Amino acid sequence: MANDILIKNIKGLVQVRDPQIRSVAGRAMSELPMIENAFLHLSQGLIRDYGTMDEMHQVKSGTTILDASGKFVFPSFVDSHTHLVFAASREEEFVMKIKGATYAEIAAKGGGILNSAKKLRATSEDELFEKTLTRAHEIIKLGTGAVEIKSGYGLTVKDEVKMLRVAKRIGKETLLTVKTTFLGAHAVPSDMKKTDYVKLVIDEMIPAVAEENLADYIDVFCEEGFFSFDETERIVEAGKKYGMKPRIHANQLHRSGGVQVGVKTKALSVDHLENIGEEEIELLKTSSTMPTALPGAAFFLNLPFPPARKMIDEGLPIAIASDYNPGSSPSGNMQVMLSLACIKMKMTPEEAFNAATLNTAAALEISDSHGSITKGKVANIFISKTSPSVAYLPYHFANDFVDQVILKGELIG
């Protein structure tokens, strides 16, 4: 067990919350509670105590003392949507897109997800783990403490299971908190008919994944050219029978019914939302499904950004995740996602931080332990570089604002 850590002289201890605040919506998203001139005491891997400097108590000898003068302390980011397990990058498609090809055209020619599947099938589980581990360390350094990881580049029983084993192992061998999602219905392999593939997902993949207890959640790419409303519903309902709750890739390229099927099946989140209208927004208001924007993917593919400003103004919550994957968002940098949220979706810095901590923790059902500075929650925090204000951090975009990371009470070197 790590030493106790006492951080003192903190310029601002950010996102301090009572345990009953599990997510924020609408106007409440603009409040980011902060204690100025604060201390934070971490003990046995948990947040033990905090307050203003004049309330600071004696700590036992052997405690590591850090001085955060001029710096802010935040709860670690919770990244609720990634495809962290993949075998190879796809910069050749990046160049094709620069020259005018669309994401859908590349996918239809066997590029895109099928390209990733081909490479992943040829990669051993250990090699895949090593590649994923490198990415895990990269996002830890950038301030992420909990992450959701999807399958979906295997597209056979064996390779989907392989991906999820790797994802689980990341949770065991790093200090990241990991939640896993089975996304067998990500694309249809080129040598299969869709009806046969949907049958394979339902009759063989889901039971195989459940047998090894590899997935907390089930996801489907509900999109024209991929999986329809009806197919999504059938797959998701099959997963639910094995205890996998839904979260859906919804409305990325078209108004494909993704939000509708997500709300109907009581999905924890509907993610992407680049193409939504009034109808979807009204429906979301009737549900507890978390609308999740993936600004990295909208930016990278030059898609319209989700109407987050309008949604918040109408009282909805918004979560922000990275969608780290080789095809549509080759970055897991949550700091950049915050800047994009502010610049491209007109979210305030306070709203963006709430969206990437408290609301993503709610979407991953880890509000009891993550997403805020709250006594008893896991000691997952980062200390910022010296900064004049909280707003300066997303403003100074693409500059790493994380100075030191502590996960599960351990200082990351």
Footprint on this chain of ligand NIG (rule: CB under 6 A) = 112-113, 116, 221, 249, 252, 297, 323, 325-328
- What 3-state DSSP class applies to 129? helix
Residue 43 interacting entry, from ligand NIG, Fe ion, none, C-beta within 5 to 8 Å by type: none
| Minimum distance, C-beta of residue 393 to ligand NIG, in the bound complex (Å) | 26
Residue 327 interacting entry, from Fe ion, ligand NIG, none, C-beta within 5 to 8 Å by type: ligand NIG
Question: Are 404 and 67 contacting, i.e. CB atoms less than 8 angstroms apart?
Answer: no
Residue 113 interacting entry, from ligand NIG, Fe ion, none, C-beta within 5 to 8 Å by type: ligand NIG
Nearer to ligand NIG, 66 or 253 (CB): 253
| Minimum distance, C-beta of residue 300 to ligand NIG, in the bound complex (Å) | 9
Nearer to ligand NIG, 291 or 349 (CB): 291
Structure tokens of 329? 């968002």
Which is nearest to 167 in space by CA: 77, 271, 82?
Answer: 82
Residue at shortest CB range from ligand NIG = 327
Nearer to ligand NIG, 256 or 380 (CB): 256
User: Residue 196 contacts by C-beta under 8 Å, 6 or more apart in sequence?
Assistant: none
| Minimum distance, C-beta of residue 249 to Fe ion, in the bound complex (Å) | 6
In angstroms, the CA 295 to CA 340 distance is: 6
Tokens 């978390």 sit on residue: 290
| Minimum distance, C-beta of residue 203 to ligand NIG, in the bound complex (Å) | 23
In angstroms, the CA 265 to CA 279 distance is: 17
Residue 326 interacting entry, from Fe ion, ligand NIG, none, C-beta within 5 to 8 Å by type: ligand NIG
Residue 116 interacting entry, from Fe ion, ligand NIG, none, C-beta within 5 to 8 Å by type: ligand NIG
Nearer to ligand NIG, 11 or 249 (CB): 249
Long-range contacts of 189-198 (CB under 8 A, 24+ apart): 189/114, 189/117, 189/155, 189/156, 190/110, 190/114, 194/231, 197/155, 198/227, 198/231, 198/234, 198/235
Helices 334-345, 349-356: inter-axial angle, 10-degree rounding: 140
Nearer to ligand NIG, 239 or 330 (CB): 330
Nearer to ligand NIG, 143 or 327 (CB): 327
Which H or E run contains 326? none
Backbone φ and ψ for 388, nearest 5 degrees, come out as: -70, -30
Question: Are 79 and 334 contacting, i.e. CB atoms less than 8 angstroms apart?
Answer: yes
Pairing of strands 402-407, 381-384: antiparallel
Residue at shortest CB range from Fe ion = 323
In angstroms, the CA 382 to CA 379 distance is: 10
| Minimum distance, C-beta of residue 277 to ligand NIG, in the bound complex (Å) | 19
| Minimum distance, C-beta of residue 81 to Fe ion, in the bound complex (Å) | 6
| Minimum distance, C-beta of residue 323 to Fe ion, in the bound complex (Å) | 4
Nearer to ligand NIG, 116 or 174 (CB): 116
| Minimum distance, C-beta of residue 307 to ligand NIG, in the bound complex (Å) | 18
Nearer to ligand NIG, 34 or 220 (CB): 220
